[in-house]
Amino acid sequence: MYKTIVVHVDGSQQQPSRLRAAARLAREHGAHLVGSAATGISWLDLALLTGSVAAPEPTADFKALRDAAALRLREFTEQAAALGVASVEGRLVEDAADNALLLQSRYTDLVVLSRDADTGANVPARARRLPEYVALRGPRPVLVIPPDYGDAPLAGTVVAGWDGSTQALRALVAALPLLERADGVTLALINPDQLSELHGEQPGADMALYLARHGVKVEVVVERTHATAGAALMALGRDRGAGMVVTGAYGHSRYREWVLGGVTRELLERTPLPLLIAH
């Protein structure tokens, strides 16, 4: 079971949907919910940027950033309580959001984020791929919530991608608390013949047996398609009425990611379902 869950608190339009998902999981698992809010910059970095490194205390501008983050946390705790979360706290980190979440991820079972921020010119590059950044560099799985999530069950039917990789294995293990509760899990193998050395004589059989021994109701589905793996997983999720997709997060070189079709990026950008990823 998940006993500690961290959710990103930034006051954005996407926050209510991810808070609903985090609150649902906290209720179902009896988990402690932590809201992580960041000032956006550390005092030392701000001092270096403004040339006031010798200042004895934070400037008014930095205090304003800290006060705004503290206000968001107070609102978060009220909203979480209204959603029925019994154990909740807010944590303010004087740093950028990505660094703050990496720090908090060390002491949690799951990090709940939203799909990538708008990629407009005013959005810092490090904020555009926050879920991918935290999943690839942090030690814990990341649950990515689409903006229109409306508190539907996450673990009704689950589609889980399996390609024999270490990343996919870690994602499945990280998702076990959800998979064990699911009504059914579709273990999806996309074009497994291309990765035959990772699957054995009967692709998916060994992993299905492993999951079944954990009490998971699992069905192996082999898809042979000319579509990308990401598109195939999304189609399966739609056809099966899934509440969530589980997959490994792949952090290859640019060339390797292009060869693989950018499965992680495609799902992060396009899937309408909550997505659990781990690296």
What CATH number did the domain enclosing 206 receive? 3.40.50.620
Q: Tell me the whole-structure pTM to 2 decimals.
A: 0.91
More confident residue, 195 or 137: 137
Does 163 share its domain with 273?
yes
Residues 188 and 264 in one domain: yes
Give the chain's mean pLDDT. Answer: 88
One domain, residues 54 and 137? yes
* Residue 189 and residue 59 in one domain: no
Question: Is the per-residue pLDDT at 4 higher than 80?
Answer: yes
Residue 55: pLDDT above 70? Answer: no
Same domain, 138 and 199: no
Q: What is the dihedral of CA 65, 147, 261, 187, to 10 degrees?
A: 120
Query: Into how many domains does the chain fold?
Result: 2
pLDDT band for position 50 (50/70/90)?
Answer: low
Longest dimension (CA), the chain: 67
Average pLDDT over residues 210-232: 96
Q: What's the rounded mean pLDDT across residues 36-61?
A: 73
Residue that finishes a domain, picked among 113, 145, 177: 145
- pLDDT in the model for residue 52: 59
pLDDT tier at 257 (50, 70, 90 boundaries)?
very low
Domain co-membership, 127 together with 189: no
Q: Looking at the structure, tell me whether residues 186 and 141 fall in a common domain.
A: no
Q: What is the DSSP string of 24-91?
A: HHHHHHTPEEEEEEE-SS-HHHHHHHHT-TT-SS--HHHHHHHHHHHHHHHHHHHHHHHTT-SSEEEE
Question: Which of 117, 145, 173 is at the close of a domain?
Answer: 145
Looking at the domain assignment, is residue 152 inside a domain?
Answer: no
Domain closes at, from 104, 125, 145: 145
Single-letter amino acid, residue 8: H
pLDDT of 239 over the 50 cut = yes
Decide if 150 is inside a domain.
no
Domain span at 206: 157-278
